[in-house]
Amino acid sequence: MKRRKDMLGLRGVERADIEEILDTAEQMREISRRKVKKVPTLRGRTVVTLFFENSTRTRTSFDLAAKRLSADTLGFSVSTSSTTKGETLMDTARTIYAMSPDAVVVRHACAGAPHLLARHFPWTVLNAGDGINEHPSQALLDMLTMRDRFAEIDGGGLEGRKVAIVGDVQHSRVARSNIFGLTTMGAKVLVAGPGTMCRSDLAALPVEIRHTVDDVVAEADVIMMLRIQRERLGRAVLPSAREYAAFYGLDLDRLKRARPDVVVMHPGPINRGVEIAADVADGPNSVILDQVTNGIAVRMALLFLLLGNADDHAQAP
Ligand code: NCD
């Protein structure tokens, strides 16, 4: 990771780099268990979170991660910025750049927005979700969560595991980043969802396309349920939430057909009773809250590896 300036996506990222991020995140996790949850590693550095789309968990997770490494943080959100007054993305970026931040965490509804900011400015850019393209920190925290659970179950890693991603795969940047990351780590990805949310053009990605949730449940080591991305669907592609739950939702009856130690995941926010039943989301197979905890550790690792390593004066935690 030494020469990497940005984290824009997991497509093309090598296995050794993913392993380094996950191993570093494991060390970072220890800091969050202390009474004083702070190390001086990024003292004096400034991290801006620049969010053009609503977000609570990703934004607060990056914010806490930066704070636990002692960086100064500044939140810049679209509702408080001039973009609502017609300012372009590049003008917003120039304004923020004039305040000399070291890193910018960007979320934008357009695929490629973080790449543009990474190309035109020398700061470090972390993609916190760009349209339907990628959401790399989410997939990394998902992989860390899976790795932990597999280590507990049988001592193994990600290699050879079957991960089923179910639901609106077509519009999910979480799914895309997981597909790239997991296949690099030697796992196999099965996808299932309604025809409009899991189209045959997904075959261009390294996945096996199935149809209903019943086609993947029995053989999966991990079942990752996705939220329907209503904001990206445009016109309705789904008759009703009830019908969706009947064909694609994960409830206790379906879970009975899975391996007893199957790992149930969801990036959040969850729609209880639609893609996942409440008793499954809160049940013993669910690692949904571990995903949230690991999110901070993974984002601390990314900030440390991208910013800390580049600076000779940075102190290791
Ligand atoms: C995901 C996102 O924004 O892509 N959520 C998140 O990062 N907390 C998934 C989703 O919105 O469904």
Active site residue 94: no
pLDDT at 312: 46
Compute how many other C-beta atoms are within 10 angstroms of the C-beta atom of residue 74.
16
Of 135, 171, 228, 292, the one to substitute when testing ligand 1's pocket (max ligand atoms within 8 A of C-beta) is: 135
Q: Measure the CA dihedral 60/62/68/73, to 10°.
A: -90
Q: Which of 51, 138, 64 is nearest to 92 (CA)?
A: 51
How many degrees, rounded to 5, is the angle at CA 105 between CA 100 and CA 106? 110
Q: If pLDDT is split at 50, 70 and 90, which confidence band does 308 have?
A: confident
What is the token pair recorded at 151?
């280590």
Structural domains in the chain, CATH included, are 15-134+293-307 (3.40.50.1370), 136-287 (3.40.50.1370)
Edge to edge, the sheet with strand 124-130 lists 72-77, 46-51, 103-108, 124-130
Q: How far is the CA of 54 from the centre of ligand 1 (A)?
A: 10
Which of 46, 58, 73, 184 is catalytic? The answer is 58
- Top pLDDT among 73 and 237 is at 73
Phi-psi region of 131 (alpha: psi -120 to 50; beta: other; left: phi over 0): left
- Report the range out of 82-91, 144-153, 191-200 with the highest average pLDDT: 144-153
**pTM score, two decimals?**
0.94
Instruction: Give me the phi and psi of 14, to 5 degrees please.
Output: -75, 155
Active site residue 107: yes
How many degrees, rounded to 5, is the angle at CA 40 between CA 42 and CA 27? 85
Q: How far is the CA of 229 from the centre of ligand 1 (A)?
A: 9
Q: How far is the CA of 99 from the centre of ligand 1 (A)?
A: 29
Where helices occur in 51-125 by DSSP H, the ranges are: 57-68, 89-97, 113-120
The pLDDT tens digits of the residues spanning 159-210 come to: 999 999 999 999 999 999 999 999 999 999 999 999 888 988 899 999 999 9
Which of 4, 5, 38, 57 is catalytic? The answer is 57
Active site residue 211: no
The pLDDT tens digits of the residues spanning 233-258 come to: 665 566 688 888 998 999 999 999 99
Give, rounded to a whole angstrom, the gap between the first and last alpha carbons of the chain.
17
What is the token pair recorded at 102?
């070291």
Active site residue 58: yes
The residues with which 191 forms a beta bridge, in sequence order, are 165, 209
Q: Which residues contact ligand 1 via a Cβ below 6 A?
A: 57-58, 129, 135, 138, 173-174, 227, 267-268
Across the chain, where does the E strand assignment appear? Answer: 46-51, 72-77, 103-108, 124-130, 162-166, 188-192, 208-209, 222-225, 263-265
Positive/negative CA dihedral, 7, 9, 14, 18: positive
- Asked whether residue 81 carries a pLDDT value surpassing 70, the answer given is no
Average pLDDT of every residue of the chain: 92
Nearest atom within ligand 1 for CA of residue 128: 7
The pLDDT tens digits of the residues spanning 124-140 come to: 999 999 999 999 999 99
Percent of the chain with pLDDT over 70: 92
Q: How far is the CA of 295 from the centre of ligand 1 (A)?
A: 12
Q: How far is the CA of 209 from the centre of ligand 1 (A)?
A: 22
pLDDT at 15: 98
- Asked whether residue 314 carries a pLDDT value surpassing 50, the answer given is no
